[in-house]
């Protein structure tokens, strides 16, 4: 070292600092890569991604190569800086070299390159993987020996060095990934993916059409009334029952009786003969399971029953798919017949309105893990059937009961407190 020209010594020191920066940035860049994006890019044939993915399959070898190279470079840099400092300042140069090299390595060999690699891991790791792949082969004996001793030490502490970290994601972790996808994923697709993940949390009971809103054909009605209902209905499938929906005879598809209707040849016997066997669904069935069951049974409508076998509503494949993709009609999504916006910014809502539908239409977060309707939510909160003009607050939502009839809340005026002027909020 002493025989080298001072300019060459300084040049060699700068080169070693650059190599130290390379090894530091390579380590941070490789370990900062998004494993799922990396795997996707490797499967797409990206050369840099394939090299990086191969290196990360054996992280012990990759880290061994980087650390061996980095330590060699830093030791050589320390030796050269000491020689230069001794030539310039004598014995005091040793301390000066130590201080100066520590600062230089920290700034130029560690902090700066690692920060850059953390911010742009792919831009650093992919080119670096070429050099690391070559060095891994060149330094293999040294790396193997170092890893053998390191792994032996880890085994003494009970660490299984052959075990690999699991890359699989739970549903909640996957939800976080989708939430943070940002502009990389269109909002509608992001919403659909989140809808699929929510299927496990939502049951048939949450989305069914309650029995009091079910439109069906009662065989006890006279034939003229039945024909009128069939000709005016907007539904393609209808439950057919006798007297009460608990006595379901079957499900009729309008296509099956269209020819009979146009020829005025329909009677109750032919109507019943055209019915399909009813398909019953337990109310607590998760939507993910029900979607599979609809597909397996080749059904599009199910009769929902409670634990006692009583019919409490119906659920359709369309209702279920809307939980994933949203409303099929934009007008349906924007207009809810149970919600009537007022000029003062409040909403007059029917007590029978489904809470989940209200939340979707207004972007609210009324609690929906208990009662399914607004009437049920208010009754549960008050622990009694309320009188007219009673006001209450549930979370940030204020409610004024406008009408009570037949032992249930008919109409409620609701507003979100944070969106209400202070004067109005104080008055309520």
Query: 242-251: per-residue pLDDT in tens?
Result: 988 999 999 9
What distance in Å separates the CA atoms of residue 361 and residue 337, rounded to the nearest whole number? 11
pLDDT of residue 334: 46
DSSP annotation of 368 reads: -
Q: Which domains does the chain have, with CATH numbers?
A: 6-157 (no CATH), 202-325 (3.10.580.10), 339-416 (3.30.465.10)
Listed in order, strand segments (DSSP E) in 236-338 are 237-242, 244-253, 280-282, 301-305, 311-316
Q: What is the mean pLDDT of the chain?
A: 85
The pLDDT of residue 330 is above 60: no
The band of 356, judged by pLDDT with boundaries at 50, 70 and 90, is: confident
Q: How far apart are CA 44 and CA 50, in angstroms?
A: 9
Residues 272-282 have a mean pLDDT of: 93
Q: Are strands 280-282 and 301-305 parallel, antiparallel or unpaired?
A: parallel
pLDDT per residue over 86-130, tens digit each? Answer: 777 777 778 888 888 888 888 988 899 999 999 999 999 999 999
pLDDT band at 294 (very low <50, low <70, confident <90, very high): very high
Q: How confident is the model at residue 323 (pLDDT cuts 50, 70, 90)?
A: confident
Name the 3-class secondary structure at 327. Answer: coil
Amino acid 83: pLDDT: 83
| pLDDT at 25 (0 to 100) | 93
Q: How high is the pLDDT of residue 420? A: 46
Mean pLDDT of 357-371: 85
Mean pLDDT over 279-295 rounds to: 92
The answer on pLDDT for 167 being more than 80 is no
Using CA atoms, how far apart are residues 285 and 204, in angstroms rounded to an integer? 6
Q: What is the pLDDT of residues 13-47, one digit of tens each?
A: 889 999 999 999 999 999 999 888 898 899 999 99
For the beta sheet containing 244-253, the strands, ordered from the edge strand earlier in sequence to the opposite edge, are: 217-218, 237-242, 244-253
* Distance separating alpha carbons of residues 428 and 422, to the nearest angstrom: 10
Helix (H/G/I), strand (E/B), else coil: 158: coil
Of the two residues 269 and 428, the one the predictor is more confident about is 269
**Is 427 a residue whose pLDDT tops 50?**
no
- Please report the pLDDT score of residue 118 as a whole number: 93
The pLDDT of residue 253 is 92
Q: What is the model's pLDDT at position 50? A: 93
Sorting pLDDT into bands at 50, 70 and 90, what band is 425?
very low
Residue 182 pLDDT:
66
Helix (H), strand (E) at residue 399? strand 397-405
Stretch 219-229: mean pLDDT, rounded?
92
CA atoms lying within 13 Å on the CB side of residue 193: 17
3-state secondary structure of 278: coil
Q: Do the beta carbons of residue 283 and residue 275 sit within 8 Å?
A: no
Q: Stretch 223-230: mean pLDDT, rounded? A: 92
Single pTM value for the model = 0.58
Q: How far apart are CA 403 and CA 411, in angstroms?
A: 5
Mean pLDDT value across residues 184-188: 74
Instruction: Please report, for residues 63, 344, 349, 367, 418, the alpha-carbon distance to residue 391 in angstroms, rounded to integers and kept in the order given.
Output: 66, 17, 14, 18, 17
């Amino acid at each position: 070292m002493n025989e080298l020209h001072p300019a060459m010594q300084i040049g060699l020191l700068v080169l070693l600092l650059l190599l130290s920066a390379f090894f530091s940035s390579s380590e941070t860049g490789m370990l900062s890569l998004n494993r799922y994006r990396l795997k996707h890019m490797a499967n797409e044939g990206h050369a840099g991604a394939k090299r990086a993915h191969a290196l990360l399959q054996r992280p012990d070898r990759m880290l061994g190569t980087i650390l061996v190279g980095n330590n060699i470079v830093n030791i050589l840099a320390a030796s050269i800086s000491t020689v230069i400092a001794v030539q310039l300042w004598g014995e005091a140069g040793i301390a000066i070299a130590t201080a100066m090299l520590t600062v230089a390595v920290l700034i130029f060999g560690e902090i700066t390159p690692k920060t850059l690699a953390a911010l742009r891991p792919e831009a650093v790791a992919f080119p670096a993987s070429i050099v690391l792949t070559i060095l891994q082969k060149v330094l293999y004996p040294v790396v193997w020996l170092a890893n053998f001793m390191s792994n032996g030490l880890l085994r003494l502490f009970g660490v299984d060095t052959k075990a690999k970290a699991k890359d699989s994601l739970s549903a909640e972790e996957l939800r976080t990934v989708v939430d943070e996808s940002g502009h990389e994923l269109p909002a509608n697709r992001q919403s659909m993916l989140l809808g699929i993940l929510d299927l496990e949390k939502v049951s048939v009971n949450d989305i069914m059409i309650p029995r009091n809103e079910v439109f069906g054909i009662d065989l006890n009605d006279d034939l003229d009334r039945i024909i009128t209902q069939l000709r005016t209905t907007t539904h393609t499938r209808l439950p057919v029952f006798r007297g009460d929906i608990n006595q379901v005879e079957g499900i009729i598809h309008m296509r099956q009786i269209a020819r009979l209707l146009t020829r005025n040849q329909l009677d109750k016997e032919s109507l019943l003969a055209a019915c399909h066997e009813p398909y019953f669904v337990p109310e607590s069935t998760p939507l993910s399971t029900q979607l599979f069951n609809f597909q397996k049974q080749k059904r599009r409508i199910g009769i929902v029953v409670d634990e006692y076998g009583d019919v409490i509503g119906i659920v359709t494949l369309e209702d279920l798919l809307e939980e994933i993709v949203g409303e099929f009609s934009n007008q349906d999504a924007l207009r809810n017949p149970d919600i009537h916006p007022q000029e003062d910014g409040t909403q007059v809502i029917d007590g029978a309105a489904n809470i989940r539908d209200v939340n979707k239409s207004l972007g609210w977060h009324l609690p929906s893990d208990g009662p399914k309707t607004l009437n049920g939510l208010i009754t549960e909160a008050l622990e009694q059937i309320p009188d007219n003009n009673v006001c209450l607050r549930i979370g940030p939502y204020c409610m004024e009961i406008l009408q009570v009839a037949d032992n249930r809340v008919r109409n409620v005026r609701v507003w979100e407190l944070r969106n209400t002027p202070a004067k109005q909020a104080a008055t309520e």
